[in-house]
Structure 1
Amino acid sequence: MSAKFYEEIINNYKKLYETKEGYDVKIYAGEKPNIKEFHVHSFILKTQSEFYKKAFIAKDGIEKKDGHFILNSSHSPKVLEILLRMKFLL
């Protein structure tokens, strides 16, 4: 497959992350009063990260509320943003 095909897929992931369209996961990062909420897609988390794949299988630290999976991150909001962008844009 051509590089253009992969570039298009990456751009689609980027748009999906930035628009938050159809997200089913809320990740909270930081400490009060500076907590940031991230909206992401479980499908992408599970396919792009072994950590999240295992967490979803084990349901370890994951709850479901109002149709969304809820996760709490030990990372700072800035670090989590970098990690999420890496997972969505690789």
Structure 2
Amino acid sequence: MNHGSAALILGYRADERDASRHRSADQHPYIAAAKADYGLSKRTHLYMQFGFAKSNNRSQQGLTGYETNIVPDANQFGAGIGIAHYL
């Protein structure tokens, strides 16, 4: 990423049911995510990322996918901010 350049990436995924459990078809879990990058120089950039996972009707959808260690119907929110420098 070059100095002064910016990028924004948005993502969304929705399912009819929780794929790991194959339960009822009315679960409708989804994930929404966003990531933004800003180039400070040729090799250094700032980044921010956010994600939200919504679970319904006993789904175990999390930010990293379907997991058995996620409490059914629990929503998840994650965020990160940082700086990356490539040598």
> So what's the TM-score if we normalise by structure 1?
0.26
* Higher alpha-carbon Rg: 2
Q: Which has the higher contact order (CA 8 A, sep 6+)?
A: 1
Higher helix share: 1
